[in-house]
């Protein structure tokens, strides 16, 4: 018999009895969750998938830091791992353009598939050696037909024209 059981027998009260029942149920639930977690991880590691998880931090146009999670592994109550890696991506708004930079090392430009709407860009690569997938939410509406993509040294750069951008022009001094 544990020290807790001994102590509980001596100081029995309705509060402690309810608290003890709650803690025992909590322990059972945690044990069940850990068993399920371990089973999922054992299966994951048997398939020898690499786990990639991290954060990128960049300064936004307003000067405030922007945090983005990346990788093929998502933390949470039930961790989730995907076959595809999630590339590290940065999005910039520059004057009349929205620019997306994505790191896709180890692939050929012919293997990269891009699909865009006015609000999102989907980047995917599916080769036997590498699998990448990322759905990027764009900060502003863009015209998908104006997209220009360049892939060099493992970095993909996709540039779109912003919808509704009006250049301010040069100020004219009146004499």
Q: Tell me if 167 is assigned to some domain.
A: no
* pLDDT tier, 37 (very low <50, low <70, confident <90, very high otherwise): confident
Domain hosting residue 32, numbered range: 3-46
Q: Both 65 and 145 in a single domain?
A: yes
- pLDDT at position 8, please? 63
50-53 — which CB contacts under 8 Å span 24+ positions? 50/85, 51/81, 52/85, 52/86
pLDDT tens track for 39-80: 766 666 665 566 667 777 766 667 777 777 776 666 665 556
pLDDT tens track for 119-133: 999 999 999 888 889
**How many whole angstroms separate alpha carbon 161 and alpha carbon 139?**
12
Instruction: Please tell me which residue, 14 or 123, carries the higher pLDDT value.
Output: 123
Q: Tell me if 94 is assigned to some domain.
A: yes
């Amino acid at each position: 018999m544990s020290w807790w059981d001994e102590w509980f027998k001596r100081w029995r009260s309705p509060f402690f009895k309810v608290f003890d029942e709650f803690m025992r149920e909590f322990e059972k639930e945690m044990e069940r969750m850990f068993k399920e977690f371990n089973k999922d991880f054992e299966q994951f590691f048997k398939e020898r998938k690499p786990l990639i998880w991290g954060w990128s931090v960049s300064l936004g146009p307003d000067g405030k830091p922007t945090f983005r999670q990346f990788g093929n592994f998502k933390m949470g109550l039930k961790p989730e791992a995907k076959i595809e890696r999630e590339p590290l991506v940065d999005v910039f708004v520059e004057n009349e353009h929205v620019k997306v930079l994505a790191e896709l090392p180890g692939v050929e430009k012919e293997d990269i598939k891009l699909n865009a709407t006015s609000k999102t860009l989907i980047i995917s690569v599916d080769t036997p050696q590498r699998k990448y997938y990322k759905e990027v939410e764009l900060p502003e509406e863009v015209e998908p037909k104006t997209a220009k993509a360049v892939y060099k040294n493992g970095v993909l750069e996709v540039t779109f024209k912003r919808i509704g951008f009006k250049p301010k022009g040069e100020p004219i001094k009146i004499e």
